[in-house]
Amino acid sequence: MDYKIDTIKKYQCKDWLLNKHYAKRLCSISYAFGLFNNNNILVGVITFGMPPSSTLAESVCGKEYKKYVLELNRLVVNEGLPKNTLSFFVSNAIKLLPNNKIVVSFADANMNHNGYIYQATNFIY
């Protein structure tokens, strides 16, 4: 695949999250990664942050490990990218996180999202 993934600054996510992602709002960002094409142009953004509630984190893995839970809270890419680009982006971005993290994410059924990308990257559904 002719793409690379690299850490990006929070400010580099702002336009993507406010204007390209359907939620049109910022979120908690602890880690942010960009997907760059072979011309080094940013073609996608993925962010990970603290889950919206500590009870959610605790329900995933208990009190002892809840501090390790991150939510994959935004994923947005340009239209027209080749097949499997999203799964490449998600799986490789997760590999760039510190080893002790537990990642959760949610598919927004109100937006007709079925979580196929999470299933394709071996999340527990």
**pLDDT tens figures, 102-115:** 998 876 656 556 66
User: What Cα–Cα distance (Å) separates residue 17 from each residue in 21, 60, 67?
Assistant: 5, 26, 25
For 37-60, what is each residue's pLDDT tens digit? 999 999 999 999 999 887 888 998
Q: What is the pLDDT of residue 41?
A: 95
Q: What is the pLDDT of residue 112?
A: 56
Q: Inform me whether the pLDDT recorded for 75 exceeds 60.
A: yes
For residue 31, list its beta bridge partners: 48
